[in-house]
Amino acid sequence: MRVLIVDDEELARMVLREMLLEHADVEIIAECANGYEAVKAITELQPELVLLDIQMPKLNGFEVVELASSRDGIAPRYIFVTAFDQYALKAFEIHAIDYLLKPYSAARLTQALAHARQSLGQTQALAPVLAQAQPASGPIGRILIRDGSKVHVLTVDKVDFIEAQDDYVQVHSEGKAFLKNQRLSELESQLDGSRFLRIHRSYLLNLDRLERIEQASKDSHQALLKDGSRLPISRSGYQKLKGMMQ
């Protein structure tokens, strides 16, 4: 069983490493000290099991799961290892196979590894992981985008608009465009609906970026953004815009 350890605390990684050495079928292929390293390692090394801390600088454990996932592949199994019990429900919602609460015993780790061995015999689709990796407490505050081995973290207040590209979205922010492997409707459901409005089947607009609405033709309108961009507005989108601006 090829295992990756992810924890920002060196002592926590050392303790886990020593416990894992007692299991002959476990091969530790790498250790990571932050979420960025973890995304790169999961993508390149393709571990079967990831032992993952949740609270880490820059990227938390749930964000690592989202960024390391791919619609076209098979996800590694995840065991979350954390000092905080409030994330347990969310961990199982994204199909983690176990949740170790620090400090844990060698026996408890052995039990979690047994769950992992059993799980590895089953096929795990990524759709539930991708669909539920966002925080359950409310709208997301940032959009995570993986570009090869690079990770872009865009705060939503810097997003101008989002455009549908088949099964992808193109996120426009500060004059740049970033492609993300996610459907527009899915991303729309994660954003604050009072701030982001679907003005067209292919466009989601940050209302803070709207300069004015212009007549494009007799029966159509377009949105002029503060950066000069022009986006088409559907009839239903126009009605929603009018309603929100009243």
Give the global pTM: 0.73
- Tell me the average pLDDT across 175-189: 93
- Tell me the average pLDDT across 176-184: 93
Please answer whether residues 171 and 160 qualify as being in contact, where contact means their C-beta atoms are separated by less than 8 angstroms.
no
Please answer whether residues 207 and 195 qualify as being in contact, where contact means their C-beta atoms are separated by less than 8 angstroms.
yes
Residue 34 pLDDT: 94
Tokens at 143, concatenated: 């959009």
Confidence of residue 244 (pLDDT cuts 50, 70, 90): confident
Residue 188 pLDDT: 95
pLDDT in tens, 57-92: 889 999 999 888 755 556 799 999 999 888 787 777
What's the rounded Cα separation, in Å, for the pair 116 and 221?
Answer: 55
Domains with residue ranges and CATH for the chain: 2-132 (3.40.50.2300), 142-245 (2.40.50.1020)
What's the rounded Cα separation, in Å, for the pair 165 and 177?
Answer: 12
Residue 130 pLDDT: 40
Q: What is the DSSP letter of 242?
A: H
What's the rounded Cα separation, in Å, for the pair 234 and 165?
Answer: 17
The better pLDDT of the pair 3, 71 is held by 3
Residue 137 pLDDT: 57
- Tell me the average pLDDT across 117-144: 64
What's the rounded Cα separation, in Å, for the pair 177 and 42?
Answer: 25
Residue 8 pLDDT: 96
Please answer whether residues 29 and 3 qualify as being in contact, where contact means their C-beta atoms are separated by less than 8 angstroms.
yes
What's the rounded Cα separation, in Å, for the pair 75 and 68?
Answer: 8
Residue 133 pLDDT: 44
Q: What angle do CA 149, 155, 160 make, to 5 degrees?
A: 105
Burial (CB count within 10 angstroms: exposed 0-12, middle 13-18, buried 19+), residue 54: buried
What's the rounded Cα separation, in Å, for the pair 33 and 12?
Answer: 10
Average pLDDT, the chain: 88
Task: Look at residues 90, 185, 99, 168 and name the one whose alpha carbon lies nearest to residue 129.
Answer: 90
